[in-house]
Amino acid sequence: MSDRKIRVLIAKPGLDGHDRGAKTVATVLRDAGMEVIYTGLHQTPEMIAEAALQEDVDVVGLSILSGAHMSLFPRIREALKARDMGDVLLTGGGIIPEDDMAALEADGFSKLFGPGTRTTDIVAWIEGAVKERWAREEA
Amino acid sequence: MTSNHPKNSAEGYAERVLQGDRRALTRLISWAENGDGRFPGALAALYPSLGRAWRVGITGPPGAGKSTLVNELALAMRREDLEVGILAVDPSSPFTGGALLGDRIRMEELTGDQHVYIRSMASRKSHGGMARAGVDACDVMDAFGMERILIETVGVGQAEYDVMGACDTVVVVMCPGAGDGVQAMKAGILEVADVLVVNKSDLAGAERLADDLSEAVHTRAIRSDEWSGEVGSSWTVPVVLASAGKAQGVDEVLKAITSHRAMLDSRGPNGLEDARRKKRVAQVRRVIDEELDARVWNTDELGARVENALAAGSTAYGIASEVVDDLLRGAAFGMRSKES
């Protein structure tokens, strides 16, 4: 049906308290016509996965500026899988070194976005990836 | 339990909801929101299980503290070991259709509790403070086994009443500093209240506002309640002072909600059932309106006819009258069925 909207959970896991980027991305996605659930700071992987389940989102976007990305991303993916939400697009951004980004993407994570990313690129990528996911669901 | 239905069918999902599967609960609410063709079938399978949940609406102007109060009420209900569902509605942009749903920020303590389910919902095209799928979402939560459902509306002004049709008890939250007593005497939002809460009671002017509100509800001689059909209701709307951010006055709010429920129950065995049936009839009427709208305009032919009639000098009223008469006589104007 044409009424379907892209639903995105924007979350900040762990201890870092810098949420300017997360709020900017949340606003940009809203202005692109998406429904964005913002959960606030200091979320545990379990809380993020539980919120993703309750909200039935298509995308989970993480903002990580603390350097803990190599541990947090996989833990959140496991928590999502444990809730039968393994097919949700898991993406994010922050201060993530290129090597780590490549390692995470090689490990099957969705695209990650570093500093300087154009917001229009984030919107375009999410729209494309979600529509592919919906097409797979229909099939 | 073995199922006779395929896992991904409407009936399969409904069965999983009745068995307490949260993945199915969350997906059925999405179907309702998206107008998915499978939802009506699933809802039909859930209908016999409805009616156990007490539905409480929390409404009021933006910034009055609705989310914080919902959080505290849910925590208090959890102390009574009740299963709690929360529907939090925030506005959609009329320009882009997007929405930023931020009510969960104030409900963090509830996220890890397996006896609580929180769903954020964008109002999409609704303008009455609710979302079109709000009642559907509550029905699914009810069937799932929620004993209390808290419905937080969009921050409303003076003329958003949709919450009445979705709830057994409506709580209107106000706070001091947002207008004088005359605001409270205007027709509008106060008339939907079963319980009035003056939140942020530690702020200057709270007592005065509570006094003004008490006057306003006491001097209202007749409470004409369109939904329950009651005129001259015996219920005197209580005014409760609270400071939800400091967890003060929450038990009193809960007591007022419980008293309202007791009052509805005391109207006899059919009191509550009557009130709920009338709300359901109103919902059916709304759904018929929506379906008529969708089907009537699901054609280019009607638009062309309107343009031609305007060009020929007809007025809006004249054209509308002719078109509706023709529709009722069975003219189809090239309309397609809903599914096409």
Longest dimension (CA), chain B: 69
d(CA B304, CA B291): 21
Residue A54, domain member (yes or no)? yes
Residue A17, domain member (yes or no)? yes
Residue A70, domain member (yes or no)? yes
Q: Is A56–B93 a contact, with Cβ atoms under 8 angstroms apart?
A: no
| pLDDT confidence band for B271 (50 / 70 / 90) | confident
B264 vs B312, higher pLDDT: B312
Strands of the sheet with B169-174, listed across from one edge: B116-122, B84-90, B148-152, B54-59, B169-174, B195-198, B239-241
List of long-range contacts for B1-7, beta carbons under 8 Å, 24+ apart:
none
Q: Which of B31, B230, B58, B67 lies closest to B139, judged by CA?
A: B31
- Is the model's pLDDT at B1 over the cut of 50? no
Q: Which amino acid is it at B289?
A: D
Q: Is A31–B98 a contact, with Cβ atoms under 8 angstroms apart?
A: yes
**A85 touches B: beta carbon within 8 Å:** yes
Q: What angle do helix axes B10-18 and B39-46 make, rounded to 10 degrees?
A: 40
Nearest CA-CA distance, residue A101 and chain B, Å: 28
Nearest CA-CA distance, residue B100 and chain A, Å: 5
Within 8 A of A55 by CB-CB distance, chain B residues are 26, 119-120
Q: Is B122–A1 a contact, with Cβ atoms under 8 angstroms apart?
A: no
* Nearest by CB: B112 against A34, A46, A85: A46
A72 vs B186, higher pLDDT: A72
Residue A48, domain member (yes or no)? yes
Within 8 A of A4 by CB-CB distance, chain B residues are 34
A16: containing domain: 7-138
Average pLDDT, chain B: 86
Segment among A90-94, A107-111, B221-225 with least mean pLDDT: B221-225
- Is the model's pLDDT at A9 over the cut of 50? yes
CATH number at A55 reads 3.40.50.280
Q: Which of B149, B156, B176 lies closest to B241, judged by CA?
A: B176
Encode pLDDT of A20-66 as tens digits: 889 999 999 999 999 999 988 888 999 999 999 999 999 999 998 88
Residue A50, domain member (yes or no)? yes
- Is the model's pLDDT at B222 over the cut of 80? no
Average pLDDT of the residues in B266-271: 75
d(CA B20, CA B115): 11
Record the tokens describing residue A81, joined without a space: 């899988």
Q: Helix, strand, coil proportions of chain A in percent (round to 5)?
A: 45, 20, 35
Q: Are A36 and B100 in contact, with CB atoms under 8 Å apart?
A: yes
Average pLDDT of the residues in B268-296: 85
| pLDDT confidence band for A1 (50 / 70 / 90) | very low
A121 membership: H or E segment, kind and range: helix A119-138
| pLDDT confidence band for B181 (50 / 70 / 90) | low
**B29 touches A: beta carbon within 8 Å:** yes
Encode pLDDT of B86-141 as tens digits: 999 999 998 999 999 999 988 988 988 999 999 999 998 887 778 889 999 999 99
- Is the model's pLDDT at B337 over the cut of 60? no
Taking residue B245's Cβ as centre, other Cβ atoms within 10 Å add up to: 15
Question: Cα B184 to chain center, whole Å?
Answer: 22
| pLDDT confidence band for B330 (50 / 70 / 90) | confident
- Is the model's pLDDT at B197 over the cut of 90? yes
CA angle A83, A84, A86 (to 5 degrees): 105
**A30 touches B: beta carbon within 8 Å:** yes
d(CA B143, CA B86): 14
| pLDDT confidence band for B336 (50 / 70 / 90) | low
pLDDT score recorded for residue B214: 85
Residue A36, domain member (yes or no)? yes
Percent of chain B having pLDDT more than 70? 86
Ordered structural domains, chain B, with CATH: 1-49 (no CATH), 51-268 (3.40.50.300)
Residue A65, domain member (yes or no)? yes
3-state SS, residue B170: strand
Q: Which of residues 93-112 of B touch A (CB under 8 A)?
A: 93, 96-102, 104-105, 108, 111-112
Q: Which of A12, A14, A44 lies closest to A25, judged by CA?
A: A12
Residue A2, domain member (yes or no)? no
CA-nearest residue to B85 within chain A is A54
Q: Helix, strand, coil proportions of chain B in percent (round to 5)?
A: 50, 15, 40
Question: Cα A139 to chain center, whole Å?
Answer: 24
Record the tokens describing residue B162, joined without a space: 């949709």
Q: Total structural domains in chain A?
A: 1
CA-nearest residue to B102 within chain A is A38
Q: What angle do helix axes B10-18 and B134-144 make, rounded to 10 degrees?
A: 60
Encode pLDDT of B16-72 as tens digits: 999 999 999 999 999 999 989 999 999 999 999 999 999 999 998 888 999 999 999
Q: What is the DSSP string of B30-81?
A: HHHHHT-TTHHHHHHHHGGG-S-SEEEEEE-STTSSHHHHHHHHHHHHHHTT
Within 8 A of B28 by CB-CB distance, chain A residues are none
pLDDT score recorded for residue B334: 63
d(CA A139, CA A128): 17
Beta bridge partners of B170: B57
pLDDT score recorded for residue B223: 45
Based on C-alpha coordinates, what's the Rg of chain A? Answer: 14
CA-nearest residue to A81 within chain B is B23
- Is the model's pLDDT at A101 over the cut of 50? yes
| ipTM associated with this complex | 0.91
Q: Are B198 and B174 in contact, with CB atoms under 8 Å apart?
A: yes
Q: Which of B166, B176, B175, B167 lies closest to B69, judged by CA?
A: B175
d(CA B187, CA B324): 34
pLDDT score recorded for residue B33: 94
